[in-house]
């Protein structure tokens, strides 16, 4: 690889990304290609998340954000949506111990009001339980849409202006109202399954992120795939509008 992970970037060159965001696409297709129900693919995808989470610290990644369920995913069949919610509840309930032991801090972004109360309680519980962990910061986007987030953030900002807390709003004021307030922007966004669109994922935060689109379906995406992408990232130059 061009730069060792953890090396200091100089002269516009890049080192390993501190924050990686992943659009985990292709679970349903993976199952369909094998003649299995789509939910089998989602369950296999959840297993893959665990492997990638465990690999990130060794690869030099401090922050990982994964796109689990979008605001548009409610359009899917009732069976698939209910099945996904069951997978989320099971994943959070049974992975809490492991994440706490491995030093993973788990947080969620997205509108929670549409999620059932049991899932919301589980989310709040594991966030509190892992709040002191520092080995890896894992953010899971559930019922998340970038436009929805910006709308909700704009409303919060308008409330603060109306209350006299802010006179002339700045970018920092808006960022403080985002779901990701206090988190670094992603350096790299990966989308699996061969699709080449961003699908309403972190539009504000990823404005200067590097993108990588891979044909690999998410259930087949291994830590080796991630490592290869990080190697390529290390060869890029990021000028952020400079020369």
Where in the sequence numbering do the catalytic residues fall? Answer: 25, 73
Residue 168 located in a structural domain? no
Q: Mind listing the pLDDT tens digit for each residue in 214-240? A: 999 999 999 999 999 999 998 887 767
Average pLDDT, the chain: 92
Residue 26 located in a structural domain? yes
Residue 235 pLDDT: 87
In the block, residue with structure tokens 């299995």: 36
Q: Mind listing the pLDDT tens digit for each residue in 59-84? A: 999 999 999 999 999 999 999 999 99
Residue 71 located in a structural domain? yes
Residue 94 located in a structural domain? yes
Structural domain boundaries, residue 124: 19-145+185-231
Residue 174 located in a structural domain? no
- Whichever domain contains 107, its CATH number is 3.40.1180.10
Residue 154 located in a structural domain? no
Q: Mind listing the pLDDT tens digit for each residue in 195-219? A: 999 999 999 999 999 999 999 999 9
Residue 91 located in a structural domain? yes
Binding residue positions: 25-30, 38, 42, 70-72, 74, 76, 191, 197-199, 210
- Domains in the chain, number: 1
Binding residue positions for substrate: 26-30, 38, 42, 70-72, 74, 76, 191, 197-199
Residue 14 located in a structural domain? no
- pLDDT at 14 > cutoff 60: no
Q: Report percent pLDDT > 70 for the chain.
A: 93
- pLDDT at 12 > cutoff 70: no
In eight-state DSSP terms, residue 18 is: S
Nearest CA to 111 among 200, 172, 191? 200
């Amino acid at each position: 690889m061009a730069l060792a992970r953890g090396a200091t970037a100089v002269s516009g060159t890049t080192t390993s990304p501190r924050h990686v965001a992943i659009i985990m696409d292709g679970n349903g297709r993976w199952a369909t290609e094998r003649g299995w129900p789509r939910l089998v693919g989602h369950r296999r995808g959840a297993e893959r998340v665990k492997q990638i989470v465990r690999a990130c610290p060794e690869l030099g990644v401090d922050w990982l954000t994964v796109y689990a369920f979008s605001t548009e995913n409610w359009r899917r069949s009732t069976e698939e949506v209910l099945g996904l919610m069951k997978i989320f509840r099971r994943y959070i309930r049974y992975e809490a111990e492991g994440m706490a032991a491995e030093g993973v801090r788990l947080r969620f972004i997205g509108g929670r009001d549409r999620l059932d109360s049991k899932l919301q309680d589980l989310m709040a519980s594991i966030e509190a339980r892992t709040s002191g962990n520092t080995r890896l910061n894992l953010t899971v986007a559930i019922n998340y849409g970038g436009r929805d987030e910006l709308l909700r953030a704009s409303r919060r900002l308008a409330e603060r202006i109306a209350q006299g807390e802010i006179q002339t709003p700045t970018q920092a004021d808006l960022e403080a109202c985002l779901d990701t307030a206090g988190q670094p922007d992603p350096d790299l966004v990966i989308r699996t399954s061969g699709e080449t669109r961003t699908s309403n994922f972190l539009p504000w935060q990823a404005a200067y992120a590097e993108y990588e689109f891979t044909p690999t379906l998410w259930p087949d995406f291994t830590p080796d795939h991630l490592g290869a992408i990080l190697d390529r990232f290390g060869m890029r130059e990021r000028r952020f509008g400079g020369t």
